[in-house]
Amino acid sequence: MILHILNRPPSSSLTYREALASMGPEDRLLLIEDGVLGALPSQVRHFESVTGRLFALREDLAARGLDGHCDAAVQVVDVDGFVQLTEEADKTVSWS
> 23-52 mask for other proteins (x: CB under 8 A)?
xx--x----xxx------------------
Does position 56 interact with other proteins (CB under 8 A)? The reply is no
Q: Which is nearer to other proteins, 14 or 72 (CB)?
A: 14
Q: Which is nearer to other proteins, 18 or 48 (CB)?
A: 18
Rounded distance between C-alpha atoms, residue 25 and residue 76, angstroms: 20
Which residues are paired to 3 by β-bridges?
28, 92
Taking CB under 8 A as the binding criterion, the range among 37-45, 68-76, 84-92 that sits at the site for other proteins is 84-92
Question: Considering only CA atoms, which of 67, 89, 82 is closest in space to residue 7?
Answer: 82
> Interface residues with other proteins (CB under 8 A)?
2, 5, 7, 14-15, 18, 21-24, 27, 32-34, 59-60, 79-80, 82-84, 86-87, 89-96
